[in-house]
Amino acid sequence: MRKLLILSTGAVDDALLQKIGSADWEIYSAQESGSARLLMTEHNFEVGLAVLLSCESERAVQWLVDLVMARRKMQWVMVLPRPGVDRKLLSNIITEHCYDYHTLPVDPQRLLATLGHAYGMAVLTENTLRQQREIESQYGMIGNSPVMQTLFRGIQKAAEVDVPILITGESGTGKERTARAIHEHSGRAAAPMVSMNCAALPTNLLQSELFGHEKGAFSGASDRHIGLIESADGGTLFLDEISDLSPEMQGNLLRFLEEKKIRRLGGTKPIPANVRVIAATHGNLEQAVREGRFREDLYYRVNVLHLRTPPLRDRKNDVELLARHFFSRFAAETRTSAKGFSRDALEVISRHEWPGNVRELMNRVRRAVLLCEGPYIAPDDLELERRTVGRGFVTLDEARMAADRDAIQATLLRTRFNIARAAQELGVSRMTLYRLMEKYDIRRDNT
């Protein structure tokens, strides 16, 4: 039987309730916020009927409106006095959050037809979304572009074999998400997956963090510490930015991969550790090997199977899918009036190069959901330049400035805002880079 939630500011006519109940509806009613929220927690409702018997009490109107806005996925039908339609608050709620509305006095047959159509629309919408998710989502990632299908096949193969994996790709392309998908679909899924960013700690701390230490191994070592490798026994160790390991740590990691044993700092006893290593880097490890910055023998040890997470510019057809996915996710977490993206916003999204990849797109959509004040997200809410929208052309100066800004932003993201490294890669001085960052308003908190 179909479930119907009726929220009302007073007693609803018994004859109307009987007619609704006889039409195969299981009715749940609430006349105040607390009991309504309890019902919403205990049951899944596809359709809600919001009945405003009077618009005179601002408090009564507000609690009902708040609940309608809080359950945007439901198909709402509102019943209210005719003058209430002219109130801005109520007209906005009807326009942006309701399937339909009726004015008092209610025509029962028309209302029953509306409720039936609303239920049909709810079921159709859910079926469509489920089918779309099945097509567009695998391993917790969104995308149906050829490069993503290649990645999905790679994840499947990697999950089936128990060998070291190397994942390469730019920052923000989902390397850790890929590693987690491999772990969760492998024979090691029941054991832990432990992650460490090799660029986040100095060498002396990395040694202790990875291999652990015995009590008294060094000044300040007041207790025995179990390292990440030992903690991941039976499972997976994910080493992000492995290219940043020092030569000493590269040698220690190679020894572990060959022997499958570790020694804690200050300890003499070898400890077996059954751990699969998945390494990742945004850098070019082959070039690092040629330049002597990365051991060739370690490279071949970690690169038994190689996966590449594609940048967003190589999967243009996925951008809109991802944007809509992130919108649904963040809209469910916050009170927003937005129903989705405007046509101009989608055009701007598709034209942007996304140097920060999926991470940048996610942050832009999150920000837009918070900033949006209208029914649809506009380009200004995304804070993306609209250089080519509407006008249809750009000047040479605009093109040069856009290219400069994109190159600087991409380099800073790739180097994690290491100004010295970014300036070296761009071929400018640090002072020049700071000046350009100020000129193009590039900051860590807006990328």
Q: According to the model, what pLDDT value does residue 131 have? A: 57
| 393: its two tokens | 């052309």
**Residue 251 CB: number of other CB atoms within 10 A?**
14
Task: Please give the pLDDT value at position 387.
Answer: 42
Helix (H, G, I), strand (E, B) or coil at 307: strand
DSSP state of 223: S
Phi, psi of 281 (to 5 degrees): -160, 150
Q: What are the backbone dihedrals phi and psi of residue 265, each rounded to the nearest 5 degrees, phi first? A: -60, 130
Options 1.10.1200.10, 3.40.50.720, 1.20.1300.10, 1.10.8.60; which CATH number does 312-446 get?
A: 1.10.8.60
- Return the pLDDT at 130: 64
Helices 396-414 and 430-439, interaxial angle, to 10°?
Answer: 120
Q: Residues in the chain with pLDDT < 70? A: 128-137, 385-400, 443-447
Q: Is the pTM of this model over 0.85?
A: no
For position 388, what pLDDT does the model report? 39
Say if residues 102 and 76 touch (Cβ distance below 8 Å). no
| Angstrom distance (rounded) from CA 182 to CA 186 | 6
Report the C-alpha gap between 76 and 93 in whole angstroms: 10
H-helix or E-strand spanning residue 111:
helix 108-136
Fold of 2-134: Rossmann fold (3.40.50)
Q: What is the pLDDT of residue 133?
A: 55
At residue 224, the pLDDT reads 86
Joined together, the tokens standing for residue 363 give: 């942050």
Nearest residue to 25 via CA among 44, 53, 47? 47
User: Which overall architecture, per CATH, does domain 142-308 show?
Assistant: 3-Layer(aba) Sandwich (3.40)
CA dihedral over 367, 372, 378, 381, signed as positive or negative: negative
Number of alpha helices (DSSP H) and beta strands (DSSP E) in the chain? 19, 16
> Could you tell me the residue ranges of all domains in the chain?
2-134, 142-308, 312-446
Q: Which residues touch 438 (CB under 8 Å, ≥6 apart)?
A: none
Domains 2-134 and 142-308 belong to one CATH topology? yes
3-state helix, strand, coil in the chain (%, to 5): 50, 15, 35
